[in-house]
Amino acid sequence: MTNSTGKAHRKRKPRANHAFQDRKRLDSPLGQVEVRLPASLAAQHEILAQEVADAAGWLLDELGDFRVVRKNLDARRRPVKAVWTVDVAQQGHVLPAIEFPIWNAAPLSSEAPEVIIVGAGPAGLFAALECLEQGLRPIIIERGAAVRQRRRDLVRITQDHQVNPDSNYCFGEGGAGTYSDGKLYTRSHKRGDIRSALECLVAFGADPAILVDAHPHIGTNKLPGIIQSMREAIVNAGGEVHFGCRMVDVLETAGSVKAIQWLELSTGRTVERACEAMVLATGHSARDVFLLMHGKGWKLEAKPFAIGVRVEHPQSLIDQVQYHGEERGDWLPPASYKLVCQVDGRGVHSFCMCPGGIIAPCATEQEQIVTNGWSPSKRDNPYANSGMVVQIDHEIWEQAGFHGPLGGLDFQRMVEQACWAAAGKTQRAPAQRLLDFLAGDEGRVSRDLPVCSYVPGVVSVNLRELLPASIAKPLVEGLRAFGRKMPEFLHPDAILVAPESRTSSPVRIPRDSDTLEHPEVSGFYPCGEGGGYAGGILSAALDGTRVVQKLALKHSLKQV
């Protein structure tokens, strides 16, 4: 943003904010300040300019260029405040130009060593991009369809109740993240260079606003184009991407990876390709991969995860609650929430909250129901949904009779299949009004259900009876606790849709803390959510980058 340099301005009265009344004057003509003012006023350029000048300790006439470099909101009370970090320059000085990143890898040498990457989700794509940076040739094997063709398989789920086990919301170009919201924040800042990953997305077409927003979000409608641009860049630089190719075996000799076999789904032909290094980035839902490794006797570990339901409210209600009745207007985004509590020592929390979003069918096998949530870039749908989940560990799945490294996975599958059977053995999902779920000691079947964004449809079921008691009981107490914190949360039209079961992988593939290889198989690099080392788009992308950096050093593959 730039302040005009025309006629002299008088200071505005009254002031929108007195927090910087006694602010010391910046001792440099270039600097950075924080402004805090009502969000409704931050959208007005003249008022914002005055606040920026005040924060710098300058007269308005002294203010030259300024630009917002970080946006956050403080919605703890009314009015909601914009808390913005701003780069400033005095009149006569110019802020350094922002150079938006451009991704342009040099073509690979014909002798570039190959790295097999299984999976074209965020971990696999960023691993491939890092391969190009390291002078390595990425060979991506993806069981699902290319991002545009993949939409047809999603339509078959919602309209025909037919699940393609190789191409669906979880499998296909871009992975689960492509059609599940595109949130780009992570709680872990130890995984790698977050700014660099965001800049990479901008280079491939993401809105530069993700570099400024405190909680960046791309949107399911925008991600396909970005993903396709990434793939085209990989291929143009000399990499390969093979769609409709499901990995069926990994061959190893004397504890080292030697080759990979995959099935071409369109022809039924099995292809074998030699490799010295392989990155496994198959996501948290590739159960056949876990079974393959388990059958080979390779070490796996059961990992805690979470299971619950999706809860949906009118977005206008969430706005009213979170913004304390303040009109949202164009200056405030659709509101979100984050809820967490402990029930008998077990965590119950919201997960993947989607303002202005929909609940989507995300099964990867025919006889199961799985739900998830996503939002378009504008988050302008009339509903808000969020996972409401209970932490699951070995105590719960062992009590249900499941043991070993795949015990959590088997428990997860049991819940999904039970929900499929209870709702009529289609992709319709079992559902219940929130108040009916909480009623009495046993809940009650809802006589009718409110309009819901889950397109395949919902069936009225008493979820207290359907879900295992180890999930239902803590979920009841957790939702009651959330209602005490946010009474409006217990809205008569709030609906629960089950199950939300793919919060993270129920299996961890162990790896050496230094080399990041599997401890028993040299050259085999588990990565991202499927390996148990990420929890979203950004953390998976960072892990893919990190794995390839380690891989190049370990195998001395980097080209000079």
Question: How many CB atoms are closer than 10 A to CB 203?
Answer: 18
Instruction: Round to the nearest angstrom and report the end-to-end CA distance of the chain.
Output: 43
User: Given pLDDT bands bounded at 50, 70 and 90, which one contains residue 11?
Assistant: very low
User: Given pLDDT bands bounded at 50, 70 and 90, which one contains residue 218?
Assistant: confident
**Residue 465: is its pLDDT beyond 60?**
yes
**Residue 100: is its pLDDT beyond 80?**
no
Token reading at 380: 């302008």
Q: What is the mean pLDDT of the chain?
A: 92
**Residue 389: is its pLDDT beyond 70?**
yes
Sheet bearing 256-264, strands edge to edge: 245-253, 256-264, 270-274
Q: What would the pLDDT profile of 48-71 be if each residue is shown by its tens digit?
A: 999 999 999 999 999 999 999 999
Question: Any idea which residue has 């805090």 for tokens?
Answer: 36
How many angstroms separate the CA atoms of 243 and 265, rounded? 9
What does each C-alpha distance from 264 to 141, 261, 269, 443, 451 come to in angstroms? 10, 10, 5, 49, 42
Q: What would the pLDDT profile of 395-423 be if each residue is shown by its tens digit?
A: 999 999 999 999 999 999 999 999 999 99
Angle, vertex CA 327, rays to CA 321 and CA 328, nearest 5: 80
**Residue 12: is its pLDDT beyond 90?**
no
- Which of 64-78, 306-320, 493-507, 544-558 has the lowest average pLDDT? 544-558
**Residue 1: is its pLDDT beyond 80?**
no
Q: What is the mean pLDDT of residues 123-137?
A: 96
**Residue 560: is its pLDDT beyond 70?**
no
Residue among 503, 186, 485 at smallest CA distance from 337 = 485
Residue 22: the pLDDT is 55
Residue 193: the pLDDT is 83
Q: Please, what are the domains in the chain?
A: 1-98 (no CATH), 114-301+507-555 (3.50.50.60), 304-500 (no CATH)
Q: What is the mean pLDDT of residues 93-120?
A: 90
Residue 376: the pLDDT is 86
* Sign of the four-CA dihedral 152, 119, 418, 340: negative
User: Given pLDDT bands bounded at 50, 70 and 90, which one contains residue 18?
Assistant: very low
Q: What is the mean pLDDT of residues 257-266?
A: 97
Q: What would the pLDDT profile of 360-375 be if each residue is shown by its tens digit?
A: 999 999 999 999 999 9
Q: Which residue(s) pair with 67 in the sheet?
A: 87
